[in-house]
A and B are shown apart, each in its own frame.
Chain A
Amino acid sequence: MLALDNVQAGYDESMILHDVTFRLSENQVVCVLGRNGVGKSTLIKTIMGVLQAEQGRIDFAGEDITKTKPAERAHKGISYVPQGREIFSNLSVEENLTLGLETNPNPSLALFKNIYQYFPVLKEMKKRNGGDLSGGQQQQLAIGRALAAEPNLLLLDEPAEGIQPNIVDAIQDVIIDLKKNTETAMVLVEQDIPFAESVGDYFYVIDRGRIMYEGEELDRERAEAYLSL
């Protein structure tokens, strides 16, 4: 479904990702692990198109999307929960969710019911500005917004980072539910290794912009060398 071949990407002159080859099939949950600053977010951004690959090739659903803009990729069914949430703080919670419908081929407000079921706090706050929400609530909003698009591929960049434990639980429950009950494929960047192991079908471990390990099982001993500080 998604294939990156020998992708190189980064900011201006400094390349972060080197020669990354990455595969994801339908319905699969792929976890990306690695320490801070090794290129996990860069990988996600390159898949979304927020960063353009300098070299290599990206295919999605059988089409070459290497040169396309994020908006086109979004219309092809990729949805993105960025690190740092990036919700629209001057727009209401409801408007943020409505923007998620932008790429949904069958937009319907009924979808919000599911999202509010996942994250009841969003319903309570729906008239408030996104910027009034706490960090954890903003993260829930960012995930809700991505789900409103009913994507084929959901990119989650450290959804549990810097968030209080009960909200982390709520988010993890949603990811588990999506895996069980929908056909959404996911790329999940995660620091919580036990959680990653519980939902992941396939694992990549990145270090210094290169893929150092991949496999269907997270081989703790080999992986840990790249994950421990």
Chain B
Amino acid sequence: MEAILLQLFNGLSLGSILLLIALGLAITFGLMNVINMAHGELIMIGAYAAYVVQLLFLTYLPEGMFSWYFIFALPASFLLAAFFGWLLELSVIRHLYGRPLDSLLATFGAGLILQQLARTIFGAPNVGVQSPTFLAGTIEIFTLSIPASRLFILLLVAACVGFMFYYFYKTKSGMRIRAVMQNRKMASSLGINTRRVDSTTFAIGAGFAGVAGTVLTLIGPIGPTLGTAYIVDAFMVVVVGGVGMLIGTVASALGIGMFNTIFEYVTNASMGRVLVFILIILVLQWRPNGLFHLRTRSLD
């Protein structure tokens, strides 16, 4: 019983990490239809932002304050990644809307540039970020002992998803974003500044990638190529969930996380992975547009 519960938690935990990685992409790819290959590098930027904040705390603040760095790293990574995203949109992507192949190549190139930038500044070897003390150790829930960092990630992801749903579905600027993404010309005819909406939306998506980067520092060391390890997973989650559907991204991340853990438990790590991919192929055969798909009635 305990073993099963633990596996369930592991599945949920893996799902939450996948979700956090995919969340930004659900905006830039899902909503805006930009095949953003630099998404992984935006995650990497967020991770290095956490690293820098940590260094600053180590250097300038008394040791007792150290653990607090993480609280500052989260908004710092969001802002820094959002800034890079904004810059990327302004300089490259803006000219490539509606040209998926070109934007794929261009963002791939931008990703390589960002990787090299990180290598130049921080060096090629991986660096480690020390977890804050309050996230080390385990927490006992009933009979399970759960790593505190995993639980924290779960809660953080829930908060991010909650914020995103609130922002997109309850605020006026969220409404504008949805309107522009659905029908750009009409939104413009209603007086919405579509340029501003595009650049803010992309920056927000990039910002969430940055938060994911900070969280990844809790899991392992970080390096300039950190993003490449996650980009496939991120696209997989968004595509399986259904492009353009936030709720689909949530369902697909948790589903993939769960099945991955179950398959790995029943077989072994590499076989589990194979089974997950087979499952994904089957799902896409059954629902080519992803788990959730918008059906609308237009002009009938």
Listed in ascending order, the chain A residues whose CB lies under 8 Å from chain B are 48-50, 69-71, 74-75, 80, 82, 84-86, 88-91, 95, 98-100, 102-103, 129, 131-135, 145, 149
Contacts and interface: CB of A to CB of B under 8 A. Distances in A.
B176 A99 contact: yes
Interface in B187-218: 187-194
B182 A91 contact: yes
B92 to A, nearest CB: 22
A131 B191 contact: no
B52 to A, nearest CB: 39
B299 interface: yes
A70 B193 CA distance: 9
B175 interface: yes
Interface in B156-191: 172, 175-176, 178-179, 182-183, 185-191
A86 B180 CA distance: 12
A145 B179 CA distance: 13
Contacts of A70: 185, 188-189
B177 to A, nearest CB: 11
Given A88-B186, A99-B175, A99-B179, A149 B296 contact: no
B175 A71 contact: no
B298 interface: yes
A71 B298 contact: no
Contacts of A48: 189
Contacts of B298: 89, 131
B297 A88 contact: no
A102 B183 CA distance: 16
25 contacts: A49-B189, A50-B188, A69-B188, A71-B191, A71-B192, A74-B189, A74-B191, A82-B189, A84-B299, A85-B299, A86-B183, A86-B185, A88-B179, A88-B182, A88-B187, A89-B294, A90-B178, A91-B179, A91-B182, A99-B187, A99-B190, A102-B176, A131-B296, A145-B190, A149-B191
Given A95-B175, A98-B175, A135-B300, A86 B186 contact: yes
Nearest to A75: B191
Contacts of A74: 188-191
B183 A88 contact: yes
B190 A102 contact: yes
Nearest to B294: A90
Given A71-B190, A85-B299, A103-B191, 10 more contacts: A70-B185, A71-B193, A86-B185, A88-B178, A89-B298, A91-B179, A99-B175, A99-B187, A133-B297, A149-B191
A43 to B, nearest CB: 15
Contact of B186 (A75, A82, A129): A82
A16 to B, nearest CB: 17
Nearest to A77: B191
Given A86-B183, A88-B182, A71 B188 contact: yes
A135 B192 contact: no
Contacts of A75: 191
A86 B179 CA distance: 11
Nearest to A84: B299
A164 to B, nearest CB: 13
A90 B182 contact: yes
A-B interface, 7 closest residue pairs, ranked by CB to CB distance from nearest = A74-B191, A131-B296, A103-B191, A89-B296, A70-B188, A86-B186, A102-B191
A131 B189 contact: no
Contacts of B194: 71
A5 to B, nearest CB: 23
Interface string B277-300: 000000000000000001111111
Contacts of B188: 50, 69-71, 74
A102 B173 CA distance: 11
B190 A132 contact: no
A95 B182 CA distance: 13
A149 B190 contact: yes
Contacts of A103: 190-191
A50 B190 contact: no
